[in-house]
A and B are shown apart, each in its own frame.
Chain A
Amino acid sequence: MNIARPLSPDLPLDETILSVPGMRCAGCISKIERGLANMDGIAAARVNFTAKRVTINHLPDLTLPDLQTALSGIGFDSQPLSVELTRQDQDSTALLKAMAVAGFAAMNIMLLSVSIWSGATGATRDMFHWLSALIALPTVAYAGQPFFRSAIKVLRLGRTNMDVPISIGVGLTTLMSLYETATGGHHAWFDGAVMLLFFLLTGRWLDSVMRDRARDGVTALLQHRSAGAWTLDNDGRAVWTDVADVKPGMIMLVALGERLAADGVIVKGETRIDMSLMTGESAPELHRIGDKVLAGTLNLDAPIEVEITAVGNDTTIADIARMMEDAGQGKSRYVRLADRAARYYAPAVHTLAAGSAIGWLIAGASLHQALLIAVAVLLITCPCALGLAVPVAQIVSAGALMKRGILLKDGSALERLSEVDCVMLDKTGTLTLGRPTPQNLDAFSPQALGIALALARTSRHVLSTALARAIDARGISALALDDVREEAGKGVFAIWQGQQVRLVRPQRLTDGNNATSDMASALIIGDGVEKLIRFTDALRPDAVDSLRQLQDLGLESSIISGDRMEAVAPVARTLGLTAVAGLHPQEKLDAIMRLRDAGKKVLMVGDGINDGPALAAGHASIAPASASDVGQQAADLVFVGDGLTPIPLAIRAARKTMKIVRENLMLAIGYNVIAVPMAIAGMVTPLIAALAMSGSSLLVIGNALRLNRIDR
């Protein structure tokens, strides 16, 4: 979309893909693309808005930090993508192609079949059969591959799955039809075989679309470490070192607003560090020389120099990643209802088909007739309802939830969510909004607020942006200031009508123990006393109501927080919940595991990196959209907005979805009870098979569509 800069065309260009989560509108797209394209050394930039990524073609001498600096110059934070994440969802695409081919073939063969059923005979029928064969054979060979491959794989392991009866059914049907065609027989089942493939591929594709949404949480976690660091070499010069080459003992420079690339100890400077993602602490903590700092945390106030103590897999963030990986394994072992049904289904179908063939042979039928009966049984029993009904129910209810701001990331999530019997909630960012909100603005005059707004706007500090947003919301406009300057780690200073005005870190607080009440700024006008603007992390507006709804659903809730008890207690009192505070990520994980071992099915609701292992371990998990990437990746569902009502809504929807899924399975069984005896009796012609198959599929799809009205 942008105009390539006149770089010489034969220059070799590098391609870098960066994740830019902050883009939200058309303006962002053009700002990023034009801003980058106007930079020297960049040939083109192309935004993928859906994936929130930008692909940059640039000269090789531009490094990753150069590109990130360029993007932050335009106003966007960016993160490099690991190779695994840039890999496209090839599975879905392959299934979609197979489905398109099967759909095309099914339509055309059905067209020919209809003329046969309406009475074509003799040479015409033979010609139509041959034409059908011409279309069906390549289609089965191409579109059947996903099933054949998976069937061969499990058969090698000596097991069986749903794909085995499907492969045998489709393969045998095609071969028998070909034989019938060659011998001028009356019936060919090409339409049935291809239609079956089409229905099953539709179900498979919907399923894989759901799975693609659940991308790997652990990969996202490692993104939070920066890709490298500025380190001091022997001559005291700063050089960019890739994260792989960073070694313990090196001194790294961490600029304002940068994430730490490794664990270490501060050797120069002091600053406040946002640890909220790691510990759940709501207030940024002051760190001085000699204090330990962790990789992945954010430097807020001033540049510091850090002596590195641990890198790569030894860092705390890598520990959390490992814990998440271990905790998530239990979930991946979860066997879905459809798969549990399939376990009994495959052997039953095989026995039935083989049994009816043998029965007819004993009753004196020819081998040819007996095989035709077996084919009809396989075709009729092929698991359209199982293969289609469950994914359709899930995708419909995922779509309905999406309209209400709840993003479902995994197909089995609804199933697991419908089973939960207790809820654990994190505090910071989950029950609360996770961002500071000024509390005592009423105590200030409009004039003071105007000055505060003008000062706050110039800074990108967390408290400044929160203050600016809150004052803005009151409709107060900023006053004109002169000589505005920001001093890192101190505050913003300016001149207003000849007086000095300041928005600074409160002196009284930083002197003493800062841990309890660092969430404040001081506004000083002229020589006046400093007036404190206090911030708290406010509760989500409908928290009380949402928790009552959870109670009505028969779920017990409690708080599980990494924050200090003094910060958790008031929240717990307001909501009337029990609470455990001061937990490390490992302890949160343990708490969930204890409940799990006691036979409870826990729904974990959390947002931070520190919740990651617990989210992965919970029977189901939900995160707010304001959560860290890790929280969002580890959770099964993500909801947008400031309210908590999506949680009870999602649980109700999950229960309703599973009710529909069970109904669909009953429908499928009912259909088989009627159709299988007919097939065994030899009464199923291709016409009846086609009607039965499409009829039962339409029935289960129609039933699943009722989920569109999920909240009624």
Chain B
Amino acid sequence: MTGLGFLIPVALLLGLAALAAFFWALRAGQFEDLDGASLRILIDEDDEDNLPKA
């Protein structure tokens, strides 16, 4: 029984943490531009003047 007193709060807290993470993601706009995210990875970040000199 003492195990329960420990495990149930842990289970609830883990669930709550996931819920909080989801709410944060929603508020932070993580789901705003789903198609764009997959394309942005293709964008070359280096500006031309920052390129390493060969």
Residues of A within 8 A of B (CB): 1, 25-27, 29-30, 47-51, 93, 96-97, 100-101, 104, 107-108, 111, 124, 131, 135
- Using a Cβ cutoff of 8 Å, how many contacts connect chains A and B? 51
**A50: which B residues are within 8 A, CB to CB?**
32-36
27 A-B pairs (CB sep. < 8 Å) = A1-B43, A26-B39, A26-B40, A26-B41, A26-B42, A26-B43, A29-B39, A29-B40, A30-B44, A47-B33, A47-B36, A48-B33, A48-B36, A50-B35, A50-B36, A93-B26, A97-B26, A100-B19, A100-B22, A100-B23, A101-B19, A104-B15, A104-B19, A108-B11, A108-B12, A124-B1, A135-B12
B51 located at the interface, meaning its Cβ lies under 8 Å from any Cβ of chain A in the complex: no
Question: Which residues of chain A are near B1, meaning CB under 8 Å?
Answer: 124
Which 9 interchain pairs have the tightest Cβ spacing?
A49-B36, A26-B42, A26-B39, A30-B43, A50-B35, A48-B33, A104-B19, A50-B33, A49-B35
Q: A97 contacts which of B23, B35, B40, B43 (Cβ < 8 Å)?
A: B23
Q: Which of B22, B34, B41 has the most CB of A within 10 A?
A: B22
What residue of chain A has the Cβ atom nearest to residue B29's Cβ? A48
- In the complex with contacts A26-B40, A47-B36, A50-B35, A131-B15 CB distance below 8 A: no
B33 to chain A, nearest CB (A): 5
In contact, A49 and B15 (Cβ under 8 angstroms): no
Give B23's nearest chain A residue, CB to CB.
Answer: A97
- Complex contact A131–B8 (CB within 8 A): yes
Of B8, B33, B43, the residue contacting A51 (CB under 8 A) is B33
| In the bound complex, CA of A212 to CA of B43 (Å) | 30
Q: Quick check: B15 and A107 within 8 Å, CB to CB?
A: yes
The interface on chain B, measured as residues whose beta carbon lies within 8 A of the other chain's beta carbons, has a size of 22
Could you say which residues of chain B place their CB within 8 Å of the CB of A104? Answer: 15-16, 18-19
- The closest CB in chain B to the CB of A131 belongs to B8
Give, as a whole number of angstroms, the nearest-CB distance from A452 to chain B.
35
Complex contact A25–B32 (CB within 8 A): no
**Nearest chain A CB to B51 CB, angstrom units:** 15
- Least distance between B44 CB and chain A CB atoms (Å): 7
Q: When chains A and B are docked, how far (Å) is the Cα of A47 from the Cα of B36?
A: 8
Cα separation A49 to B41 with both chains bound (whole Å): 13
Report B-chain residues with C-beta under 8 Å of the C-beta of A108: 11-12, 15
**Could you say which residues of chain A place their CB within 8 Å of the CB of B15?**
104, 107-108
Inter-chain contacts of A96 with B (CB < 8 A): 26
- Please report the C-alpha to C-alpha distance between residue A111 and residue B8 in the assembled complex, in whole angstroms: 10
Bound form: Cα–Cα A51–B36 in Å: 9
Contacts of B40 in A (CB 8 A): 1, 26, 29
CA distance A104 to B41 in the complex (A): 33
Q: What residues of A have a CB within 8 angstroms of the CB of B43 in the complex?
A: 1, 26-27, 29-30
Chain B nearest CB from A97 CB (Å) reads 7
Q: CA–CA, A108 to B43, complex, Å?
A: 43
Specify which chain A residues have a CB less than 8 angstroms from the CB of B12 in the assembled complex.
Answer: 108, 135
Within 8 A of A (CB), among B18-54: 18-19, 22-23, 26, 32-36, 39-44
Chain A residues within 8 Å of B34, by CB: 50
Contact A25 B33 (CB under 8 A): no
Contacts beyond the supplied A50-B32, A96-B26: 12 A-B pairs with Cβ under 8 Å: A1-B43, A25-B39, A26-B41, A26-B43, A29-B36, A29-B39, A47-B33, A49-B39, A50-B36, A100-B22, A108-B11, A124-B1
Please determine whether A49 and B33 come into contact, CB atoms closer than 8 angstroms: yes
Inside 8 A of A111's CB, which chain B residues have their CB?
A: 11
Nearest B residue to A93 by beta-carbon distance?
B26
- Chain A's nearest CB lies how many Å from the CB of B34? 6
Chain B residues closer than 8 Å to A27, beta-carbon distance: 43
Nearest residue (CB) in A for B22 is A100
Min distance, Cβ A318 to any Cβ of chain B, angstroms: 32
In whole angstroms, how far apart are the Cα atoms of A107 and B12 in the complex?
10
Cα distance A335–B41 when bound, in Å?
A: 45
- Which residue of A has the minimal Cβ distance to B12? A108
Question: In the assembly, what is the distance between CA of A1 and CA of B41, in Å?
Answer: 11
Looking across the interface, which residue of chain A has its beta carbon closest to that of B37? A49
Interface centre among B15, B23, B26 (most CB of A within 10 A): B15
Which single residue of chain A is at the shortest CB-CB distance from B19? A104
A626 to B11, CA, bound (A): 52
- CB A83 to nearest CB in B, in angstroms, measures 18
A89 CA to B30 CA in the complex, in Å?
Answer: 15
Residues on B with beta carbons closer than 8 Å to the beta carbon of A47: 33, 36
Contacts of A97 in B (CB 8 A): 23, 26
Q: B23: shortest Cβ distance to chain A, in Å?
A: 7
Give Cα A25–Cα B36 distance, bound, in whole angstroms: 9
Bound Cα distance from A383 to B9, whole angstroms: 33
With a CB–CB cut-off of 8 A, which chain A residues contact B44? 30
Distance in angstroms between the alpha carbons of A50 and B31 in the assembled complex: 10
For residue A247, give the distance in angstroms from its CB to the closest CB of chain B.
Answer: 40
CB distance from A506 to the nearest CB of B (A): 43
> Which of the listed residues B34, B39, B42 has the most CB atoms from chain A within 10 Å of its own CB?
B39
A260 to B24, CA, bound (A): 45
Interfacial chain A residues near B33, Cβ < 8 Å: 47-51
Q: Which B residues are in CB contact (< 8 Å) with A25?
A: 39
> How many angstroms from the CA of A30 to the CA of B23 in the assembled complex?
29
Task: Report the nearest A residue to B39, measured CB to CB.
Answer: A26
- A49, A100, A124, A131: most-surrounded residue (chain B CB, <10 A): A49
- What residues on A are CB-neighbors of B22 within 8 Å? 100
What residues of B have a CB within 8 angstroms of the CB of A100 in the complex?
19, 22-23
Chain B residues in 8 Å Cβ range of A49: 33, 35-36, 39
A101 surroundings in chain B (CB, below 8 A): 19
Interchain nearest-CB distance for A671 vs B (Å): 30
Distance A47 CA – B39 CA, assembled complex (angstroms): 11
Minimum CB distance partner of B16 in chain A: A104
CA distance A131 to B23 in the complex (A): 23
* Bound Cα distance A97, B20 (Å): 10
